[in-house]
Amino acid sequence: MKLKDKVAIVTGAGQGIGAATAIKFAQEGAVVAVCDLNRDAVAAVVEACREAGGAAEGFSIDVAERDAVNEMVAALLKRHSRIDILVNNAGITRDARLQKMTLKQFDDVIDVNLRGVFHVSQAVVDTMIEQRAGVILNASSVVGIYGNYGQTNYAAAKFGVIGFTKTWSRELGPKGIRVNAIAPGFIDTPILSTVPDDVLARMREQVPLGRLGKPEEIANVYAFLASDEASYINGAVIEASGGMTL
């Protein structure tokens, strides 16, 4: 098991990539803190982690709310005395063209996708420094590298996450903490449920592999980066997109 007895936080773990990552980590032996706004989804993923043979506990929190984040981290430390892995996966979309985007649409995405990453990372970093060990993994996106029509807020947040990753890897590497990011491409998750079939078809055509990615394929990359097998990878942004940006 790659992550045996590691204590891991996965945000946005109620569905999609986050849920797949929580279950994968449980399969690899981690104790998983399943974090999401949706209480029912949290309970379902906790149960799935346990059915996979792992240990898990759930927290219904909004990563944009610092007090809730602090309470979750404090509860974990009280029970386990350590935090080894953080996967900053929580994210939302509120798409609109620049001329049409409201301040609320902009702020909502920045609060969750960028400020939320800052909140949870800052809440765990002192513990990781004391341990002289830890892994922080951030969810960026190919949109954060290349931009995308109608996603000013999302692109800005995901590009900002890359900035976090590069900066923290320099600050925290000497303290035994690795920080990396994944930039997924088009992944078949509930976030695509409202996308028309013809648009999905065009998305597939952009990918040399001819299909959308699976959440489990991103979870596998997270599990590798969280493990000692990736012990010399720090400050990387790994694109997992099926080659769509070639």
Structure tokens at 164: 């976090």
Distance CA 36, CA 13 (A): 6
Find out whether 8 and 85 touch, Cβ atoms under 8 Å.
Answer: yes
Distance CA 127, CA 172 (A): 12
CA atoms within 13 Å, Cβ hemisphere of 27: 14
The catalytic position among 149, 154, 222, 232 is: 154
- Is 154 designated active site? yes
Find out whether 73 and 83 touch, Cβ atoms under 8 Å.
Answer: yes
Distance CA 193, CA 190 (A): 5
Residues involved in catalysis: 154
